[in-house]
Amino acid sequence: MKLECCKFEMFAKRVKEKDSKIVLFGTGAIGNVVAPEILDRYGICQYIDCYLDNDKTKWGTAIAVCGKYFDIKSPDYLEHCSEETVILLNISRFSDVINQLELMKCTVHMTCYIMPMMLIYNYCTEKSSGEAVKTAEQRIPRKLHYMWLGGEKLSDDLKKCLESWRYYCPDYEIIEWNESNYDFSRHPFMEQAYKAGAYGFVPDYARLDILYNEGGLYLDTDVEIKRNIDDLLCQDAFCGVEKWQIINFGGLSGAVKKHPMIKKFLDARQDIFFTDDDGKPNKNTCGFYDTRVAIKEGYKLNGKTQIIGNMNIYAYDYFHPYDYMSGMVYETENTYSVHWFNGGWLDGTMKKANKESRRRYLSIYERTVALNMNKEN
């Protein structure tokens, strides 16, 4: 199986020239939200055949993207596909899936494009562009909010992050939210996640709730501030995106109290629960839901800083220059903070997958991205 990573224009051209069917592997935030937007922009949604996923509970169900419903099938479906079929891999922890696909005889002559790497290659290899809209005076209060649950002591790495807050924000009020001062019963998602011991998921709702009702800035505990952030207070609301263009409020976000755009993000989560009727946990990340809201309000997945609903959305290099799949950091003149993705929401299996993906990333990078960049130069 050939592994590929290229410009989206080239990907679309190849699909059209060969009239290839596209089989999307993975139904998470990248596959469900990001990939369809990219395919639609380049006019190749009509080539989508179906989705594949390793979660057996999803087989036989359908997913709505690009104005249509597409079946979710077992990876064994590839045995019935032609060699011209294109596999679009939409999983950030892609190593295990690549191993799985390479062991299938039917994929020997197929091509697999790795969407997370393509997003980085297309949008995150240099200083980002686009302009935020700022106000002449401070609008957001000088408050730094964060949440720490479970009562355990902060690790040395997390202590280093908080020390950076105090260094660059000496006159800010730093507020820790925990079991003693925050009511998780405000929403079933938080209450269920907390009772399940999934503390990393509780802030997915709480961040938005705190920003809306308190105003100020919010940071996850694994965020290191790199320079003075006072000018970020001169706007009504903002957040950042990860390298795969997914909205992330944890890296550094802020808002005035009762901002209507923050309310829209909150409202979209009212019917989202952490556990279903069978007790199965909902492991969709916050970006899965928040990116959908942003797209509905006009957010474009183009790697640029932009504004929707009087809220600035900053490109990857402002708050998320760290790529936790490769371990690479792409700091630029734009960078205010680095979200180190400690992964409090990851279980042991996912952390192991992260390490394996990182190990393979550089070799795949050399086979795909670096090779293409040399050809272009």
Residue 353, pLDDT > 80, answer: no
Predicted confidence band at 324 (pLDDT cuts at 50, 70, 90)?
confident
Is a pLDDT exceeding 70 seen at residue 69?
Answer: yes
0.75 surpassed by pTM: yes
The architecture (CATH level 2) of 2-123 comes to: 3-Layer(aba) Sandwich (3.40)
Mean pLDDT (whole number) for 200-223 = 96
Please give the pLDDT value at position 365. Answer: 72
pLDDT at 355: 67
Q: State the DSSP string of 271-326.
A: T--SB-TT--B----HHHHHHHHHHHTT---SSSBEEETTEEEE-HHHH--EETTT
95 vs 359, higher pLDDT: 95
> Domain map of the chain by residue range?
2-123, 143-345
pLDDT at 73 over 60: yes
State the Cα–Cα distance between residues 108 and 123, nearest whole angstrom.
30
In sequence order, what DSSP letters do the residues of 102-119 get, joined into one string?
HT-GGGTT-EEEEHHHHH
Backbone angles phi, psi at 51, to 5 degrees: -110, 150
pLDDT tens per residue, range 28-61: 999 999 999 999 999 999 999 999 999 999 999 9
Is-same-fold flag (2-123; 143-345)?
A: no
Q: Which of 94-98, 240-244, 354-358 holds the top average pLDDT?
A: 240-244
| Separation CA 257–CA 210 (nearest Å) | 9
Kindly report the CA angle at 219 between 230 and 273, in degrees rounded to 5?
140
Per-residue pLDDT reduced to its tens digit, 226-243 = 999 999 999 999 999 999
* pLDDT at residue 344, rounded to an integer: 46
Task: Write the class of the CATH domain 143-345.
Answer: alpha beta
Neighbours of 302 (CB within 10 A): 16
Question: Residue 294: which of 218, 343, 240 has the closest Cα?
Answer: 240
343 token code pair: 């992964």
User: How much is the pLDDT for 348?
Assistant: 57
50-54, 212-216, 273-277, range with the lowest pLDDT: 273-277
Question: In angstroms, how far is the first alpha carbon of the chain from the final one?
Answer: 26
Q: Does residue 287 contact residue 248 with C-beta atoms inside 8 Å? A: yes
Bridge partners for 70 per DSSP = 63
Secondary structure (3-state) at 261: helix
State pLDDT tens for residues 172-207: 999 999 999 999 999 999 999 999 999 999 999 999
Instruction: Please check the confidence at residue 87 and state whether its pLDDT lies above 90.
Output: yes
pLDDT at 264: 98
Write down the mean pLDDT value for the chain.
92
What's the rounded mean pLDDT across residues 82-108?
A: 93
Classify strands 48-52 and 22-25 as parallel, antiparallel or unpaired.
parallel
Residue 310: pLDDT band by 50, 70, 90 thresholds? very high
pLDDT tens sequence across 128-173: 999 999 999 999 999 999 999 999 999 999 999 999 999 999 999 9
